[in-house]
Amino acid sequence: MLRFMTLRLLRAIATMAVVLVIAFVTLRYSGTPFERMYPEGLTPEHQAALEAKLGLDQPIWVQFQVYVTNMLQGDFGRSLFTGERVWVIYAERIGATVTIGGLALLLAIALGVPLGAAAALYRHNPLTQAGMGLAFLGYAVPHFVIGIALILFFGYYLRVLPSTGLLTPEHYILPVITLAIPMIATIARFMRAAMLDAITAPHVMTAAGKGLGDGAIARAHILRNAMIPLITVLGLEIAAVLNGSIFVEAVFSLPGVGRVLVGAVADRDFPVLQFGVLAYAAIVVAVSLIIDLLYVAADPRVRLEG
């Protein structure tokens, strides 16, 4: 157990180290910032002076050291365009992303888990079959197409919901649904498979043999056991929320961090991009670590080992 957690932690650290190197390389080998700051060109002397000032004349490992030190002190640099502190740019936008992502995740769990469970328990019911058919659709269609379809239908055809920006609570409805649909599909499909596995487990026959009712068997001996593998999927879905929000924010023109990230790529604003990459990777790594811990807490077979 302890050994497992240590290994797991080491892996998380290794991943972050690789990300750090990637981010550093991206930043350093993307050309000097001067081309952008002085589009008209620089004299060699001026450039050398600037390089000395910014430490760019130092050997690369020294630069890396400075880079990491700065970061540990909370200095992530400034945007090449606006000169704003990078973390401020993100801090201003994170609210929208977290709200929409969180709501979408809750919606997806609230709908996906029961749908998948019902589809496994009542496999021959036309209603659950239709539900899984829809889930199949949601699974194959990308966020941006779902978003556009929803805008066309609810925004322009029915004219009942706003489709751009985040002015009122109604503005959140379509983005949240768009982000949730593929997750609902994934969770439902996975839940169904996990339930089917759980139904055929020998202990379910024991439970049926005890004369328990279907409801009690489903709750205590099938659902419960299917929830454990679901934990892993929820972890993956949090990463999917981060991915999806990039598209959802683009479709609905929302002021979130996904737009910042895409803007930074298009403008080649490397300090901004770099922070996004690091933060995003840190979240994914942290989530997968937490998921492993949750898994351990939820499954006595793992928890009580060693």
Partner 1 sequence: MALALPRPRAPANAGLWLAGLLLTAIVLAGAFAPLIAPHEPNAINMLSRSAPPVWADKGTWAHPLGTDNLGRDLLSRALYGVRTSFAIATLGLIFSAVLGITLGLISGLAGGLVDRLIMGLVDVFITLPNLLLLLCGIALLGTEIWVLIVMIGLVRWEAYARLVRGQVLTLREEPFVEASRTLGGSGLRVALVHILPNLASPLVVMLTLSFPLVLLMEAGLSFLGVGVQPPTASLGRMIGDGRDYLVNAWWMSGVPSLVLVAITLLFQLIGDGVRDRIDVRAHG
Partner 2 sequence: MVCATASMCVPMAEPLITARDVRVRFRLADRTIEAVRGVDITLEPGEILGIVGESGSGKSSFAKAFVELHGPPFTRSRTLINGSIRLATDDGGIELVGAPRATMRRVRAQKIAMVPQDALSGLNPLIPIGRQVAEALRAAGSSADSRSILALLEEVQLRGAPARIGAFPHQLSGGERQRVIIAMALARAPKLLIADEPTTALDVTVQAQILSLIERLRERHGTAVLFITHDLDVIAALADRTAVFYAGELVEIAPTRDLFLDPRHPYTRALLASRPGLAKRARLIGTAPDHDATPPGCAFAPRCPHADARCTAPPPTVPRDGGSARCWQLAA
Angle at CA of residue 54, ends 51 and 58, nearest 5°: 70
Return d(Cα 302, Cα 291) in angstroms, integer. Answer: 13
Binding residues (CB under 8 A) for partner 1: these are 11, 14-15, 18-19, 22-23, 26, 29-30, 136-137, 139-142, 144-145, 148-149, 151-152, 155-156, 163, 239, 242-243, 246-247, 250-251, 261-262, 264-266, 268, 270, 273, 276-277, 280-281, 284-285, 288
State in angstroms the smallest separation of the CB of 150 from partner 1.
Answer: 11
Interacting positions 93-122 with partner 2 (CB under 8 A): 120-122
212 binds partner 2 (CB under 8 A): yes
Tell whether residue 205 is a contact of partner 2 (CB under 8 A): yes
Please, what is the Cα angle at 196 between 190 and 202, to 5 degrees?
Answer: 135
Site for partner 2 in 156-185 (CB under 8 A): none
**Is position 124 an interface residue for partner 2 (rule: CB under 8 A)?**
yes
Lookup result for tokens 């972890």: 235
Which DSSP letter does residue 211 get? T
Instruction: From 240, 244, 230, 284, select the one nearest 109 (Cα to Cα).
Output: 230
> Is the backbone of residue 201 left (phi > 0), alpha (psi -120 to 50) or beta?
beta
Name which of 53 and 301 has its Cβ closer to partner 2: 301
Taking CB under 8 A as the criterion, the residue among 210, 265, 268, 286 binding partner 2 is 210
CB 175, min distance to partner 2, A: 37
Nearer to partner 2, 44 or 215 (CB): 215
Minimum Å gap between C-beta 124 and partner 1 is 11
Query: Contact between 299 and partner 2 (CB under 8 A)?
Result: yes
Shortest Cβ distance from residue 299 to partner 2 (Å)?
7
Token code pair at residue 219:
């709750």
Q: How far is the CB of 134 from partner 2 (least distance, A)?
A: 22
Q: What is the largest CA-CA distance in the chain?
A: 89
Retrieve residue 42's tokens: 């620089």
Q: Where does this chain touch partner 2 (CB under 8 A) — which range of 45-53, 63-71, 91-99, 222-230?
A: 222-230
Between 169 and 209, CB nearer to partner 2: 209
∠ Cα 54 56 62 (to 5°): 105
Identify what 156 binds: partner 2, partner 1, none; CB under 5 to 8 Å per kind.
partner 1
* Shortest Å, Cβ 192 to partner 2: 12
Tell the burial category of 230 from Cβ atoms under 10 Å away from its Cβ (0-12, 13-18, 19+).
buried
Among 3, 53, 159, 301, binds partner 2 (CB under 8 A): 301
Rounded Cα gap, residues 24 and 156, in angstroms = 45
108 forms beta bridges with: none
Q: Does 221 bind partner 2 (CB under 8 A)?
A: yes
Structure tokens at 5: 């957690």
End-to-end CA distance of the chain: 6
- Interface contacts to partner 2, rule CB under 8 A: 120-124, 199-214, 216-218, 220-222, 224-225, 228, 299-301, 304
